[in-house]
Amino acid sequence: MRGEEVRSSFLEFFESRGHLVVPSASLVPRADPTLMFTNAGMVPFKDIFLGNAEAPASRVVDSQKCLRISGKHNDLEEVGRDTYHHTLFEMLGNWSFGDYYKAEAIEWAWELLVGNWGLPADKLYVTVYRDDAESEKLWKKISGLATDRVQRFDEKDNFWEMGETGPCGPCSEIHIDRGEGSCDMQQVAGHKCEVNAGCARYIELWNLVFIQHNRDDTGQLHDLPMLHVDTGMGLERVAAVLENVDNNYEGTLLRGLVARAEEMSGLDYGKDFEHDVSMRVLADHARAVSFMLADGIEPSNEGRGYVLRRLLRRAARHGRSLELEGTFFARVCESVIEGMGAAYPELSDRREAIVAGVEEEELRFSLTLDRGLAHLDEAAGQLSAGGSSLRLDGETAFRLYDTYGFPLDMTQDILRSRGIEVDVDGFKAALEQQRERARGARRKGAAEVDLTRMVALAREKGGSSFEGSWQLQAESEVIALGKAGAPVGSAKAGDEVEVVTAVTPFYAESGGQVGDTGFMSTSAGTTLEVLDTRKGATDVSVHVARVVEGELSLGDTVSLGVDEERRQAIRLNHSVTHLLHAALRHHLGDDTHQAGSLVDAARLRFDFKHDGPVRAELLAEIEREVNDAIRDNLEVTVAEMSYDDALATGALAFFGEKYGDLVRVVRMGDYSVELCGGTHVARTGDIGLLRLAGESGVAAGVRRVEAVSGAGALGALKTRDELLSTVAGLLRGGVDEVVGKLEKLLEAKGELEGRLSEQSRARSGDAVENARAAAREVAGGHAVVARADGLDAGGLREMADRLRAGLDSVVVVLAGDTGSGVAVVAATSGALAERVHAGKLIKELAPLVDGHGGGKSDFAQAGGKDPSGLDKLLEKANELVG
């Protein structure tokens, strides 16, 4: 049976026994911001087990795509180096929600494995939980297995738990004996091959979980009112067994992807261990990357996006090990789509987005990959040459990450085969130092202090309560007072302090909205300027302030006043981000969602997930729609409710945000519903006007719009009018004549550039003839190595193309001083294209002019900084081409 047939036959088997076939859920867990990826078959059904959702049917069967690459499941460094670790895998599962139980689950498992799939019964072993006599009896009765083939184990191997508390129960696993030759621990002294002994001879095929208990906070088990069945079988593993191949990468689910790597590289799998590792990495990572992109995850520097970027870059590095160039990984991903698109339609539906996303990231990383590898080679070489301990320092590892985009695990992966370790603690220290510098820069001089002690002191007094959604003044007691994070009893004029009050109208910076500023005062005449408000904890807001006059003491009663004009501007900008988010989703699709924001008094910045730039006409339509919603003067309501109730209303929640048991739902008519803790207007009409100020890319798959609202939007219109009037004056015409006059100027400019281009082509033609005349014979054709100053890379390329067109088999190297640097091109044709690789030629020549570059086998180019090296470059080129 092929892997695809195993999947379909499993689904059909259980469908014929009354199970509803449900499609795989997304790799992004629905309504669970605490979990990065769907990492097990039970994740989509978690709420059903917890009693928070209704099951789609009492019997369900599926093949769930899963990703294990984060948290305790992070085995990324092992993927490729062995033949059984994977990032993405498919979990086959059948489920009973209060319907059948142990007898049916065991009977059907045995029927499918032995009766339908033909696995030899004499090679199968079963394990049960030590106290589960019922399952043990059923297995012996149904399968006829001898007593020594049904074995009992403790909690570690045969008791399943969702977490420290919650649903749990005994499980029963089916193992297969693959023969003595499959043992991978024969060299381990004292090792004995047996079930659960750790070697590859006995491998688990299927796990049947019988959920019958609930564990409380004290650790006690209580019987559940309904009994459930949750089974899981890794498709890749069972398919390899049924296909009778040695490992998963030899099975049909992955072998075709390995073959694609063989085809592109011209290498044979199974001939060289390091090459095999790289081919397995490409095969495995292509599946994970394709599914992640299909589920709307985009490469970025945080969260799920960073995991995706790590996979893409690890694949790019291994492709280099196979001497692959260009967008090779996108071709492997295309094979994934072709092979799995029928079973997972989301792959075919998002084919263009997947391929474009991979190609963009490949090209982006290729700009720094070669330089980073050279830097790493140099650093590793110095370790060996100096006779020092083979351990790369953390600073160098961090420089590779920060400058060249090398994730830490990729650096470790590269050095592992050379026997070199990486100082991980040193890397983390360097990373934290950079973060500290970034935080300091963001604060622009405001002291970044550790608020831990302030928070603890405030919590002893009950914490602080934010009462400033609508009121901007309050009176309250000072319950914590500190300087640079250290608690103090009092502060005098000139001191910069941190102040916590029991009640505050000041909004603390969070959710992209900046903290409030304003004033504090006491009845004794003490005044403070509040410079910022920070969230020390969810229940503690800390005012960063300067004592202007008098003295402030712990326990004083203070009057607090928020800067009203600033708060109102922030309120407008924050509210309009909700409208903007809704409009973006309407026009760009539901895959578009917030990736970050900044809301202050002057402007708003909104980052969102989207492939490629948003067209100008579409941006104009989005702006129009938002302004329509503003003019509709929709009522803005804020309600507190449970997280699950909020999601049921359709409110948007985002991965990485921390939500408590109660959340705030901000609704703007029927147009927008989001979870948000910020401050907002009473009606959308209060915003007045939105003007988009620009759209740009900030990372792969992440776009940014900047905008202004209210008075800021009116100011932007006024500035634009003034600018247009200035341009009209320079063109000596009225505002309505600007376009016509500019068109005439551009037309004249184009004519002038055309004449200059003709002169350049004439000079280029003379240079071509001179170079052709200087062509010399080499084995297999001709070689042209010439200097051509005054031409940029484009001019040199045109010259090289003309030389190739005039000679049947030729290798061309042209280089020259551009006036601002050096341009170099290499090109080949005919028989010489097979003997001389232009890209490799350029890589050897470019350093001679302090440059770098690359390209394909038939054309490559480079830029350099040192024209004094041109003669050496041309001399070296003549030597290399023969």
Dump pLDDT digits (tens) for 65-75: 999 885 544 56
Evaluated on CA atoms 635, 636, 637, 642, the torsion sign reads: positive
Name residue, tokens 């394990």: 127
Compute φ and ψ for 659, nearest 5 degrees. -110, 135
With 80 as the cut, is the pLDDT of residue 36 above it? Answer: yes
Look at 15 and 78; give whichever has higher pLDDT.
15
Compute the C-alpha angle 49/50/51, nearest 5°.
90
With 80 as the cut, is the pLDDT of residue 322 above it? Answer: yes
Identify the pLDDT of residue 517.
95
Q: What angle do the packed helices 328-340 and 273-294 form, to 10 degrees?
A: 60
pTM: 0.56
For every residue of 207-270, which 3-state class applies, written as one string? EEEEEEEEECCCCCEEEEEEEEEEEEEEHHHHHHHHCCCCCHHHCHHHHHHHHHHHHHHCCCCC
d(CA 315, CA 563): 52
CB atoms within 10 A of CB 37: 26
With 50 as the cut, is the pLDDT of residue 386 above it? Answer: no
Identify the pLDDT of residue 444.
45
Residue pair 577/565 in contact (Cβ under 8 Å)? The answer is no
Residue 750 DSSP SS3: helix
Lowest-pLDDT choice from 194-198, 405-409, 728-732, 849-853: 405-409
Q: What angle do the packed helices 408-416 and 394-404 form, to 10 degrees?
A: 120
For 493, the token pair is: 């004029």
Compute φ and ψ for 27, nearest 5 degrees. -70, -20
With 70 as the cut, is the pLDDT of residue 818 above it? Answer: yes
d(CA 859, CA 838): 5
Task: Tell me what the mean pLDDT of segment 58-64 comes to.
Answer: 96
Query: Average model confidence (pLDDT) for the chain?
Result: 88
CB atoms within 10 A of CB 409: 16
d(CA 215, CA 26): 29
Look at 323 and 13; give whichever has higher pLDDT.
13
- In the chain, count H helices and then E strands: 25, 35
Q: How far is CA 684 from CA 574, 628, 663, 691, 713, in A?
A: 11, 10, 22, 15, 15
What is the percent of the chain with per-residue pLDDT over 70, rounded to a whole number? 94
Exposed/middle/buried for residue 375 (C-beta within 10 Å: 0-12, 13-18, 19+)? middle
Identify the pLDDT of residue 187.
84
What's the half-sphere exposure (Cβ side, CA atoms, 13 Å) at 803?
A: 35
Identify the pLDDT of residue 715.
87
Identify the pLDDT of residue 657.
58
**Stretch (H or E) spanning 666:** strand 662-668
Name residue, tokens 């940029």: 792
Question: pLDDT tens digit string along 730-766?
Answer: 888 888 898 999 999 989 888 887 776 676 666 667 7
d(CA 698, CA 420): 35
Compute φ and ψ for 261, nearest 5 degrees. -65, -40
With 90 as the cut, is the pLDDT of residue 141 above it? Answer: yes
Question: Which of 350, 366, 370, 372 minimizes the C-alpha distance to 298?
Answer: 350
What is the percent of the chain with per-residue pLDDT over 90, rounded to a whole number? 52
With 80 as the cut, is the pLDDT of residue 519 above it? Answer: yes
Compute the C-alpha angle 663/666/667, nearest 5°.
135
CB atoms within 10 A of CB 399: 18
Lowest-pLDDT choice from 43-47, 370-374, 578-582, 675-679: 370-374
d(CA 562, CA 470): 11
Rounded to a whole number, what is the distance in angstroms from the first to the last CA of the chain? 55
For 726, the token pair is: 């200035």
With 50 as the cut, is the pLDDT of residue 442 above it? Answer: no
d(CA 604, CA 569): 10
Residue 423 CB contacts under 8 Å (≥ 6 apart), including other chains: 391, 392, 393, 394, 397
For 454, the token pair is: 């302030």
Identify the pLDDT of residue 440.
57
Residue 290 CB contacts under 8 Å (≥ 6 apart), including other chains: 333, 336, 337, 340, 347, 354
Strand partners, 223: 213
Residue 646 DSSP SS3: helix
Identify the pLDDT of residue 387.
46
Question: pLDDT tens digit string along 638-670?
Answer: 998 887 788 778 887 764 555 666 888 999 999
Backbone angle region of 266, left / alpha / beta, with phi > 0 → left and psi within -120 to 50 → alpha:
left
Q: How far is CA 359 from CA 346, 612, 858, in A?
A: 19, 12, 21
